[in-house]
Amino acid sequence: MKLSRSDRIRRATSTVMTSLTALCTVAAIGVLAIILFYIARSGVRSLNLHFLIETPKPVGEGGGIGNAIVGSALLLALSCIIGIPVGISTGVYLSEVGRGWFASVVRFLVDTLTGIPSIVTGVFIYAVIVLRMKHFSAYAGGIALALIMIPIVARTTEEMIKLVPHSLREGALALGAPQWRVTLGVVLPAAAAGIATGVMLAIARVSGETAPLLFTAFGSRFFPDGLDRPIASLTVQIYNYAISPYDEWHAQAWAATLVLMTLILGINVTVRFFTRKKF
């Protein structure tokens, strides 16, 4: 069959455009590969055991990120203690308890909260907590991170609970169980794996946050000596070293970046591996 000229043009356009979309995808993955390559190559250079356990030292004397790792772990723990229960409860409210306009308002606000820049959260916590306590503290940093965590956990919890079949609830209710026992004993355990996934991803997201910590947890050059004090974190340390004028600190920023990325990619890949069969 001989194609007319316009048909050949149509087919050529189609081929060109579909290849372009493939090219876009290759470009995005290429960028990812380049970024990861540079982090791995530049990060490995100054990575060693001393770097992981020592505190920062003046330029030229080495030093490490031990205090920042401990600080980040404490901040994450604080944010989890506050963020996970509140987030899961909000998710349960949205899916099991809330009805009518108020539930819609809460759902809408949860959605928009996920889009609020994290630096604004930092300013807010500074205004309501740091100004009142009159000094930076790990508490303020942890609460700032928790505020970022709550909407993420709430949304995944709601989505995961929605996937639990109604017959499970009906079965438990028919046996005479009150709603709270149905939710806590039947619905939540059935959705537990999915919720855990969401929580892990929220932790990964929060562990990379820098902006809300700049003027809440602030930073420190020593190991943490109380949650009431300013505290170091991996991300703020990376930022301070990267914008410094010293090559040695630049190298340390890369190494700390590698540590942070190992944690975050580790969580993401693990979650992916465990959810592969389910979705």
Partner 1 sequence: MKRVNGQGSPLSESLLRLLSPTGNVGDGVFRLLMFAAGLLVVVIVLGMIIGLATHSELSLRQFGFGFLRSSTWDPVNGQFGALAFIYGTVASSLIALLISVPLSLGIAIFLVEQAPPIIARPITFLVELLAAIPSVVYGVWGIFVLAPFLRERVEPSLARSFGSLPFFQGPITGIGLLTGGIILAIMITPIISAVARDVLAAVPNTQREAALALGATKWETTRVVLINGAPGIAGAIILGLGRALGETMAVTMVIGNRAEISFSLFQPSYTLASVIANEFTEATGDIYLSALIELGLILFLVTFVVNAIARLLVWRVTRTTVGAGMAA
The residues in 205-264 that bind partner 1, with binding defined as CB under 8 A, are 205, 207-211, 214-215, 218, 235, 238-239, 242-243, 250, 253-254, 257, 260-261, 264
Min CB(167)–partner 1 separation in Å: 19
> In this complex, which beta carbon is closest to partner 1, that of residue 29 or of residue 192?
29
Residue closer to partner 1 (CB basis): 96 or 197:
96
Given a contact cutoff of 8 angstroms between Cβ atoms, the answer to whether 53 and 66 are in contact is yes
For residue 46, what is the enclosing H or E element?
none
* Size, binding site for partner 1 by CB under 8 A: 89
CA atoms within 13 A on the CB side of 161: 24
Structure tokens at 118: 């994290």
Restricting to residues 76-95, name those near partner 1 by CB under 8 A: 86, 89-90, 92-94
- Closer residue to partner 1 (CB): 36 or 192: 36
Which residues ranging from 24 to 43 are in contact with partner 1 (CB under 8 A)?
24-25, 27-29, 31-32, 34-35, 38-39, 42
Q: Which of 54, 55, 62, 98 binds partner 1 (CB under 8 A)?
A: 98
In 30-119 the beta strands, taken as DSSP E runs, fall at none
| Distances in whole angstroms, Cα of residue 81 to Cα of each of 40, 74, 144, 223, 237 | 32, 11, 12, 21, 24
Residues 100-119 that bind partner 1 (CB under 8 A): 102-103, 105-106, 108-113, 115-119
Q: Whose CA is closest to 253, among 269, 234, 267?
A: 234
Q: Please say whether the beta carbons of 44 and 262 come within 8 A.
A: no
Binding mask 136-175 for partner 1 (x = CB under 8 A): -----------x--xx--x---------------------
Burial of 59 (0-12, 13-18, 19+ CB in 10 A): middle
Interacting residue with partner 1 among 1, 20, 49, 174 (CB under 8 A): 20
